Chains A and B, each alone.
Chain A
Amino acid sequence: MGLRISRAGRRTNDQGEVKDQVEVDGKSERVPVAGVAAQVLDASGALVGEGVTDDKGILLITVPGPADYTVVLDESTLPEGTVLTNQTPAERAVEEDGFRTSTITINYFTGASERVGVGFFEKLAQRSVDGTRLGLVLAMCAVGLSLIFGTTGLTNFAHGEMVTFGGMMAFLLNVSWGVTLWIGGPIVVILGGLFGLLLDTVLFAPLRRRGIGLVSQLVVTVGLSILFRNFFLSRFGGRVRELADFNGQKNITIGPVGITPRDLIAALISLGVLVGVALVLQKSRLGKATRAVSDNPELASTTGIDSQKIIRIVWFVGGALAALGGIFRGLDEGIGPDMGLDLLFLMFAGITLGGLGSPFGSLVGGFIVGLFVETSTLFGVPSELKKVPALVALVLILLLRPQGILGRRERIG
């Protein structure tokens, strides 16, 4: 929970709008609340606009232009038994330079008024669950990144965009075309895989054949990242938007912890997929061949393994897993053009922690990073700086044990 103001795009518009969305809390519960009154005041305290939220929980107020405003929610109009959470007080400031697009969204989160004084261990348990969910998504996205690095030596800085691709495709299918996610999801995963395969076939395989060095290829992935991110930004817009399915669910309470059915199922699917990947890598012939190519491509091909084919499969699987991660992340936090890039840094932290090039390492590392990020807020780290401890951990790992938990010393240069 926490303040969510959308900022995106690079142009300011003269017609600013302030949008209030009052939603009932529980991190995973998003029930829109209607009939709540709010006002927008300008810098001198004069009333600019006011209104009442509709049945989608949205109130749209048009302001004359980009400037500093204050949004004030009338708490007496909140439903019985709910209050605003501490992080979203009734009075909120909107800054002039927040008007990167024409609309700023202010979310108000409410909670049941009895939930006061939650104990530390309850909070720890809840955050651990949240961290586990994030960790599973990270692990899924990171495995692909790690496999690509292992087999080709390339650090793919565009991997975040492969996650965003999954999110965008899910949005297209689910929201724009109205296909349910039970069918749309697998389609998106396959599309993600094809995207990865396409990148390898069209771009990276020819570059490898030409003998273009790894550093150059790395810079190419940076270019791809810029290209795709701005493509998504131009087509989708800067605002974060929700998928249509599985919204507005109530928490299931398991002991001190609450989780929505959607997130629980997503977590279970992620876990299943990860276990599946691990089993394939460990037990199947394909897995063995992949690990061989990760280890030493030339040596692997002397035993008859087609390294290039394995690399193509790795790109496909990496893309598919990233897309799946994108869907789950999108269900949780909404779809936006930056969704993958936000995760990229955490993915890198996870892979480094687990060991660059070791797929199992990325599972472990991603998981730990996710847990770390979410539980850090309990220890005084403000929500906006949640990612900072992951960086500190990254630097420490590199100082103390650069090969990570499961990596091998020879790989670190």
Chain B
Amino acid sequence: MNWGNIAEASFSAFFGVNAMYFAIAAIGLNVQFGYAGLLNFGQAGFMASGAYGLGMTAHYFQISFWWGIAAGMGYAIVLGLLMGVPTLRLRADYLAIVTIAVAEVIRLVVRSVRFKHFFGGSDGINNFSGPYRDLNPYLESGRYPFSPLDADGPTAALIVVLFVALAIGSGVVVQRTVLARRFPTLSKWVGIGVVAVVAFGLLMLVSRSVEYTGYSLWTITVGWALVAVLALFVWALMRSPWGRVLKAIREDEDAVRSVGKSVYSYKMQALVIGGVIATFAGMMFSIERGSVQPDNYSRDVTFFVLTALVLGGAAKVSGSIVGPMLFWGILAFADVFLHQLLASRGGRLELLGLEIIGSESQIGQFQLMLVGVLLILLMVFRPQGMFGNRKEMALDGR
């Protein structure tokens, strides 16, 4: 069992591109689901609007890239209105049904042969990320180490700051969840401190063997910067009077109506804002790949973003960032771990005589089954996720 490989893969995934664009989508979903209590099961549709808006504008209309971003946001607004107008006055279930249906229809339409001329069918749209690549200060095919010890000056400083923040963050989490119960007499600061030091040490150790290509690193830089900006935006928004009304709606709609606020209008705004944020996720994802493909925006993606959000903790901005990182870290861990386990057991995994995994290709599905189980366990035992607050849960509303 090559733990080095496993740790390296998990670490890479933790900070990698997938976690990044999931984090953006999760921040958006958080506004809708965590703060406003709206059941948006069509997040993939918003992501697709962003990606296709960008791709189509840049590719077909040959207009600048930046207009494509505006176009994507425009589509998201239209989509949010389309989904919200019929359903926001009704039960939450109706929104769930309509969003899942609309997202699926979007996927069918952009994938269809009939509209291949506009959307590129199942090939999608390619070759539009030129301007983005031109802005890359790193050498595209160069390999960049991610450790502060190997990287140069300013990058190293940034990484150290990042690691310290993560270490303290994990210290806080572990302290609150585990140490407070097991060692109640232990001082809070000592607990946080010890865990932070250990975490920092681990991060430094593992990062020594991690490298990213120049292209990935550029995406990581831009992407996580975008995550930070959006997170800050949402955090500020939720502390504003607008945010307070939204949280009040989640708790008790009728009380909010009784003081004269339009619940419908606030919900619609939350849906649209969350959707526009999600379009950035679609855009980042497609820019990084240089292509927009319909099958990347399936209903599975929506549910995985939901799982990642619930894992981190809905209704907390930090939850929407850490959740996706953990989600992908866990998936990468499981992937490499299972591959190695399978190889060492000669290609088959058995438990009590029953074959669990018969071949390598089944590992992917096994991982996804684990995602389903994870979601169930989370909802049953810890719906507030890692960072969430039980009292703030929208989920017990009805």
A: residues with CB less than 8 A from B are: 9-11, 13, 95, 97-98, 149, 153, 155, 157, 207, 211-220, 222-228, 230-231, 233-234, 345, 348-349, 352, 356, 382, 384-385, 387-388, 391, 394-395, 398-399, 402, 411-413
Interface centre among B89, B101, B105, B373 (most CB of A within 10 A): B101
| B376 engages A227 (CB within 8 Å) | yes
Question: Which residues of chain A are near B41, meaning CB under 8 Å?
Answer: 222
Once A207-B380, A234-B365, A394-B101 are accepted as A-B contacts, the answer to whether A213 and B122 lie under 8 Å apart by CB is no
Interface centre among A212, A382, A398 (most CB of B within 10 A): A398
Taking the complex as formed, is B303 at the interface, i.e. its CB lies under 8 A from any CB of chain A? yes
Interface string of B294-329 (1 = CB under 8 A from A): 000000100100110010000000000000000000
> How many Å lie between the Cα of A163 and that of B87 in the bound state?
27
Once A215-B397, A226-B300, A395-B86 are accepted as A-B contacts, the answer to whether A352 and B94 lie under 8 Å apart by CB is yes
* Interchain Cβ contacts under 8 Å between A and B, 22 examples: A10-B364, A13-B361, A212-B380, A216-B379, A217-B379, A218-B93, A220-B375, A222-B306, A223-B374, A226-B369, A227-B372, A228-B372, A230-B368, A231-B369, A234-B362, A356-B93, A382-B112, A382-B113, A384-B113, A385-B114, A391-B101, A391-B104
Of the residues B293, B366, B368, B396, contact of A226 by C-beta under 8 Å: B368
Taking the complex as formed, is B395 at the interface, i.e. its CB lies under 8 A from any CB of chain A? yes
| B361 engages A9 (CB within 8 Å) | yes
Once A216-B396, A387-B108 are accepted as A-B contacts, the answer to whether A233 and B375 lie under 8 Å apart by CB is no
Once A348-B101, A352-B97 are accepted as A-B contacts, the answer to whether A223 and B373 lie under 8 Å apart by CB is yes
A384-B114, A394-B97 known; 14 new pairs, CB 8 Å cut-off, are A11-B364, A155-B97, A215-B394, A218-B96, A219-B306, A220-B379, A223-B376, A230-B366, A345-B101, A356-B93, A385-B112, A385-B114, A388-B108, A413-B91
> How many Å lie between the Cα of A388 and that of B300 in the bound state?
19
Question: Which residues of chain A are near B395, meaning CB under 8 Å?
Answer: 213, 215-216, 219
| A215 engages B114 (CB within 8 Å) | no
Question: Which residues of chain B are near A223, meaning CB under 8 Å?
Answer: 307, 372-376, 379
B: residues with CB less than 8 A from A are: 37, 39, 41, 82, 85-87, 89-94, 96-98, 100-102, 104-105, 108-109, 111-114, 122-123, 293, 300, 303, 306-307, 310, 357, 361-362, 364-366, 368-369, 371-376, 379-380, 383, 394-398
| A348 engages B123 (CB within 8 Å) | no
Q: Which A-B residue pairs are the 9 nearest by beta carbons?
A: A227-B372, A226-B372, A223-B375, A413-B91, A234-B365, A213-B396, A398-B86, A223-B376, A230-B368
Would you give the shortest CB distance from B219 to chain A, in whole angstroms?
22
> How many Å lie between the Cα of A345 and that of B396 in the bound state?
25
| B300 engages A385 (CB within 8 Å) | no
- The count of A-to-B residue pairs whose CB atoms sit within 8 angstroms is 155
Interface centre among A13, A149, A215, A224 (most CB of B within 10 A): A215
Question: Which residues of chain B are near A219, meaning CB under 8 Å?
Answer: 306, 310, 375, 379, 395
Would you give the shortest CB distance from B44 to chain A, in whole angstroms?
14
Would you give the shortest CB distance from B305 to chain A, in whole angstroms?
12
> How many Å lie between the Cα of A267 and that of B98 in the bound state?
29
| A155 engages B93 (CB within 8 Å) | yes
| B90 engages A413 (CB within 8 Å) | yes
Would you give the shortest CB distance from A72 to chain B, in whole angstroms?
19
Question: Which residues of chain B are near A349, meaning CB under 8 Å?
Answer: 101
CB nearest neighbor in B for A234 = B365
Of the residues A98, A207, A233, contact of B365 by C-beta under 8 Å: A233
Once A215-B397, A216-B379 are accepted as A-B contacts, the answer to whether A348 and B97 lie under 8 Å apart by CB is yes
Once A215-B39, A216-B395 are accepted as A-B contacts, the answer to whether A388 and B109 lie under 8 Å apart by CB is yes
| A345 engages B398 (CB within 8 Å) | no
Interface centre among A9, A98, A219, A412 (most CB of B within 10 A): A219
| B368 engages A224 (CB within 8 Å) | no
Question: Which residues of chain A are near B361, meaning CB under 8 Å?
Answer: 9, 11, 13
Question: Which residues of chain A are near B380, meaning CB under 8 Å?
Answer: 207, 212, 216, 220
Once A391-B102, A412-B94 are accepted as A-B contacts, the answer to whether A226 and B397 lie under 8 Å apart by CB is no
Question: Which residues of chain A are near B114, meaning CB under 8 Å?
Answer: 382, 384-385
| A226 engages B93 (CB within 8 Å) | no
CB nearest neighbor in B for A398 = B86
Would you give the shortest CB distance from A116 to chain B, in whole angstroms?
24
Question: Which residues of chain B are near A345, meaning CB under 8 Å?
Answer: 100-101, 104
> How many Å lie between the Cα of A395 and that of B101 in the bound state?
10
Question: Which residues of chain A are near B86, meaning CB under 8 Å?
Answer: 395, 398-399, 402
| A95 engages B122 (CB within 8 Å) | yes
Question: Which residues of chain B are near A231, meaning CB under 8 Å?
Answer: 365, 369
| B96 engages A385 (CB within 8 Å) | no
Question: Which residues of chain A are near B101, meaning CB under 8 Å?
Answer: 345, 348-349, 391, 394
Would you give the shortest CB distance from A313 to chain B, in whole angstroms?
23
| A230 engages B122 (CB within 8 Å) | no
Question: Which residues of chain A are near B102, meaning CB under 8 Å?
Answer: 391
> How many Å lie between the Cα of A28 and that of B327 in the bound state?
45
| B372 engages A224 (CB within 8 Å) | yes
Would you give the shortest CB distance from A173 to chain B, in whole angstroms?
19
> How many Å lie between the Cα of A411 and that of B94 in the bound state?
11
Would you give the shortest CB distance from B161 to chain A, in whole angstroms?
36
